């Protein structure tokens, strides 16, 4: 099946610094990627939808200036956590898909393995 990778798998940074997380579709072209956040022992919460070549769409309550998303190619989306603080510590997961455009379609989404961010 299709493979999605994330890099790094874990990162520790100091408060106030910025961290970039990459999400790559390895064997397919992903026109759409999604970024989720998962706190310990909690569910996945959608943060934003990233479409190749256009601006990301953020969910309500997600600060677009803090969580910068770039989807510059069909195989790569990046999430940059700017001026990270301890409360940003979480597990970040991306998923990728190539929507067929059919109204009733539920094109399969492929999830990356996640990135654990710890902000000291």
Partner 1 sequence: AQTVTQSQPEMSVQEAETVTLSCTYDTSESNYYLFWYKQPPSRQMILVIRQEAYKQQNATENRFSVNFQKAAKSFSLKISDSQLGDTAMYFCAFMRAGTYKYIFGTGTRLKVLA
Of 12-20, 66-74, 81-89, 103-111: span binding partner 1 (CB under 8 A): 103-111
Q: How many residues does the chain have?
A: 120
- Three-state secondary-structure class, residue 92: strand
Residue 23 Cβ, how far from partner 1 at the closest point, in Å?
Answer: 13
Secondary structure letter of residue 109 according to DSSP: P
Question: Closer CB to partner 1, residue 78 or residue 98?
Answer: 98
Q: Record the tokens describing residue 3, joined without a space.
A: 């493979």
Q: Record the tokens describing residue 16, joined without a space.
A: 């106030």
Residue 54 Cβ, how far from partner 1 at the closest point, in Å?
Answer: 15
Looking from the CA of 42 toward its CB, the CA atoms found within 13 Å total: 11
> Which residues make up the interface to partner 1 (CB under 8 A)?
32, 34, 42-46, 49, 91, 93, 95, 97, 99, 103-109, 111, 113-114
């Amino acid at each position: 099946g299709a493979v999605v990778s994330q890099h790094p798998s874990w990162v520790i940074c100091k408060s106030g610094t910025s961290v970039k997380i990459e999400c790559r579709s390895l064997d397919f072209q992903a026109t759409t990627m999604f970024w989720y956040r998962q706190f310990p022992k909690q569910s996945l919460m959608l943060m934003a939808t990233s479409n190749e070549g256009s601006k990301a769409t953020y969910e309500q309550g997600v600060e677009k200036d803090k969580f910068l998303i770039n989807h510059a190619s069909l195989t790569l989306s990046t999430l940059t956590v700017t001026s990270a603080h301890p409360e940003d510590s979480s597990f970040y997961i991306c998923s990728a898909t190539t929507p067929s455009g059919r109204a009733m379609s539920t094109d399969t989404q492929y999830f990356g393995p996640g990135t654990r961010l710890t902000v000291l």
